[in-house]
């Protein structure tokens, strides 16, 4: 057989790869793609970003890091969430802002109006609020409520971490489902990946319907690291609800003590406010699964608190919490009490807190002496300096790490719920807070904060300025990334 000689006129692959003209063409195509990607990403950021600093940051990243910058913007910089209409929320008689004197001081009528303009809801009277401290009080109450459920259980939590506490909740939920109760569990997609330890799979094996909110995926890219459902909500038979800052994890138990023990606050609510809370869960469930849930019927009056739920998130709820806080601080006459585990406020919030202190309002901010995120503690020091300069007081609460969140104005206004006073809660996370207009409940929780303040160390402005240069540089570096912490 005669061998066929290769056609000398057709260059081999090796020869082609050595051809400088080929490489020049590839480089030209890459440069064109990089320019096109950077240009498209920059235009998108310019047209969609609400914060000019965020727009500048992403635009600079796209041009300084060809291809990599636009890729990062595509993965993390685009808000792909579309506004979702609230399901037909059951309504209950609300309080007229002009007739709110029996519930709180007339000066808070403006705050009632602000919340009404932001949410479309008036505060609902006739509710009872019970305070639950740490997992030692909260978990038994939640588990009893699950055991007593007859019709429905709706659970939304950020962290559902494997451990003895999770085992008890899984067993209780599965038992309720087995006896015919309609049980639904909603967990955050990213937290489920990081903390859950196959909790969702265990629940589904026990026939408990479970869904992941904004579950991460690669095709198409849906990492969504910055958009998490941080709400904690348990609703029993549309009659009782539990909310606050508490996740489901062993470290929430203080007895027996452990190195990572976390103190926290949770709240039991009963009365007409449970119906709009059920509507919030229904909206999140429908967004996640596409399944519509039946409307809740408002419960009968159970107490003397007027309450209004407020949702926040990077959708139609963006900036709601920030505006609510600014309005409340601006209305303060005597004091502002804040307890939060993380303190990285927006510049607008920082300014209104400084202004309140300059007006003579007693501004007290209680933080943990050491949180579970040291870089947040470091970044927080830059914001503390400005407030101390204006006369505010900052207190560091000793261990265990305090994860509770409370916001109190004067003697008549309270915000409780899942939101921290940081930019993640204010702009990125899906949060749930409850406005409470009830002097008795406000007084009870103000005493709680003041008791913690008595056991805390006051931050000294001179000591803060006297930190070593390496410490201040490290704090400043964390501060640079504070919008993303």
pLDDT at 67: 79
pLDDT surpasses 50 at 66: yes
Q: 275 falls in which pLDDT band (50, 70, 90)?
A: very high
pLDDT surpasses 90 at 80: no
pLDDT surpasses 70 at 247: yes
Which of 37-41, 300-304, 423-427 is the least confident region? 37-41
pLDDT surpasses 90 at 56: no
Question: β-strands 406-409, 335-339: how paired?
Answer: antiparallel
pLDDT at 63: 85
Which of 257-261, 278-282, 337-341, 453-457 is the least confident region? 257-261
Which of 61-70, 166-175, 212-221 is the least confident region? 212-221
pLDDT at 177: 97
Q: What digits encode the pLDDT tens for the residues 122-132?
A: 999 999 999 99
Region 319-332: mean pLDDT is 93
* Among 54-63, 109-118, 281-290, the range of highest mean pLDDT: 281-290
Nearest Cα to 362, choosing from 392, 406, 325?
Answer: 392
Nearest Cα to 305, choosing from 107, 131, 118, 137?
Answer: 131
User: What does each C-alpha distance from 335 to 121, 366, 396, 402 come to in angstroms?
Assistant: 26, 13, 19, 22
Q: 447 falls in which pLDDT band (50, 70, 90)?
A: very high
What single string gives the DSSP state of each residue in 243-266?
A: EES--BSGGG--SS--TT-EE-EE
pLDDT at 257: 87
What single string gives the DSSP state of each residue in 203-257?
A: HHHTT--EEEET--BTTTTB--TT--B---EEEETTTEEEEES--BSGGG--SS-
Region 219-237: mean pLDDT is 78
pLDDT surpasses 70 at 91: no
* Residue-range domains of the chain with CATH: 127-307 (3.30.870.10)
pLDDT at 85: 46
Region 287-307: mean pLDDT is 93
User: What does each C-alpha distance from 271 to 233, 239, 303, 392 come to in angstroms?
Assistant: 15, 7, 7, 37
pLDDT at 110: 84
pLDDT surpasses 50 at 89: no
pLDDT surpasses 50 at 437: yes
Q: Are 74 and 42 in contact (CB under 8 A)?
A: no
pLDDT at 214: 83
pLDDT at 33: 83
The SS3 assignment for 340 reads coil
Percentage, residues of the chain above pLDDT 70: 85
pTM of the model: 0.83
User: What does each C-alpha distance from 137 to 132, 254, 267, 276, 392 come to in angstroms?
Assistant: 6, 10, 10, 25, 33
Report the sign of the C-alpha dihedral through residues 65, 66, 68, 71, in that order. Answer: positive
CA 123, CA 115: separation in Å to the nearest integer? Answer: 9
The SS3 assignment for 386 reads helix
Q: 83 falls in which pLDDT band (50, 70, 90)?
A: very low
Which tokens is 70 given?
A: 């636009």
Region 240-263: mean pLDDT is 94
pLDDT at 210: 95
Nearest Cα to 107, choosing from 358, 361, 310, 461?
Answer: 361
CA 466, CA 460: separation in Å to the nearest integer? Answer: 10
Q: 472 falls in which pLDDT band (50, 70, 90)?
A: confident
The more confident residue out of 396 and 214 is: 396
For the chain, the average pLDDT equals 86
* Among 13-17, 49-53, 244-248, the range of highest mean pLDDT: 244-248
pLDDT at 50: 62
pLDDT at 43: 82
Q: Are 187 and 196 in contact (CB under 8 A)?
A: yes
Q: 88 falls in which pLDDT band (50, 70, 90)?
A: very low
Nearest Cα to 207, choosing from 174, 179, 237, 235?
Answer: 174
Q: 101 falls in which pLDDT band (50, 70, 90)?
A: very low
Q: What are phi and psi of 39, to 5 degrees?
A: -65, -45
Rounded to the nearest 5 percent, the helix, strand and coil shares of the chain are 45, 20, 35
pLDDT surpasses 60 at 81: no
Q: 169 falls in which pLDDT band (50, 70, 90)?
A: very high
Which tokens is 148 given?
A: 């007593």
């Amino acid at each position: 057989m005669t061998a066929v000689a290769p056609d000398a006129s057709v260059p081999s692959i090796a020869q082609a790869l050595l051809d400088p003209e080929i490489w020049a063409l590839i480089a030209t195509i890459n440069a064109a793609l990089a320019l096109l990607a950077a240009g498209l990403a920059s235009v998108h950021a310019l047209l969609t970003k609400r914060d000019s600093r965020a727009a500048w940051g992403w635009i600079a990243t796209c041009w300084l890091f060809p291809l990599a910058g636009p890729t990062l913007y595509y993965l993390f910089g685009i808000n792909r969430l579309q506004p979702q209409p609230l399901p037909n929320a059951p309504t209950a008689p609300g309080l007229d802002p002009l007739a709110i004197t029996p519930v709180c001081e007339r000066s808070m009528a403006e705050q009632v109006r602000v919340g009404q303009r932001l949410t479309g809801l008036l505060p609902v009277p006739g509710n009872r609020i019970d305070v639950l401290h740490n997992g030692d009080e909260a978990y038994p109450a939640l588990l009893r409520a699950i055991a007593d459920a007859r019709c429905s259980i709706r659970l939304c939590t950020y962290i559902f971490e494997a451990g003895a506490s999770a085992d008890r909740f899984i067993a209780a939920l599965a038992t309720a489902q087995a006896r015919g109760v309609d049980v639904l569990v909603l967990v955050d997609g990213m937290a489920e990946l990081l903390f859950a330890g196959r909790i969702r799979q265990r629940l589904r094996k026990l026939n408990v319907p479970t869904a992941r909110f904004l579950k991460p995926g690669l095709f198409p890219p849906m990492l969504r690291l910055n958009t998490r459902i941080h709400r904690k909500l348990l609703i029993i038979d549309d009659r009782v609800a539990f909310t606050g800052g508490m996740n489901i994890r062993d470290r929430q138990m203080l007895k027996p003590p452990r190195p990572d023990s976390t103190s926290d606050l949770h709240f039991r609510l009963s009365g007409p406010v449970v119906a709009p809370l059920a509507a919030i869960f229904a909206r999140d469930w429908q967004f996640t699964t596409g399944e519509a849930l039946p409307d809740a019927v408002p419960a009968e009056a159970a107490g003397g608190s007027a309450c209004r739920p407020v949702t926040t998130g990077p959708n139609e709820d963006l900036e709601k919490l920030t505006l609510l806080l600014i309005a409340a601080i601006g209305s303060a006459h005597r004091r502002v009490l804040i307890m939060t585990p993380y303190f990285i406020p927006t510049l607008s919030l920082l300014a209104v807190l400084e202004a309140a202190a300059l007006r003579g309002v007693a501004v007290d901010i209680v933080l943990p002496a050491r949180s579970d995120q040291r870089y947040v503690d470091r970044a927080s020091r830059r914001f503390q300096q400005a407030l101390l300069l204006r006369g505010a007081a900052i207190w560091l609460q000793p261990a265990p790490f305090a994860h509770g969140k409370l916001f109190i104005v004067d003697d008549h206004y309270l915000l409780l719920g899942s939101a921290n006073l940081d930019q993640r809660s204010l702009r990125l996370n899906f949060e749930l807070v409850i406005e409470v207009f009830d002097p008795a409940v406000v007084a009870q929780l103000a005493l709680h904060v003041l008791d913690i303040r008595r056991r805390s160390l006051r931050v000294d402005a001179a000591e803060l300025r006297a930190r070593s240069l390496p410490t201040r540089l490290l704090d400043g570096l964390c501060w640079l990334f504070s919008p993303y912490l």
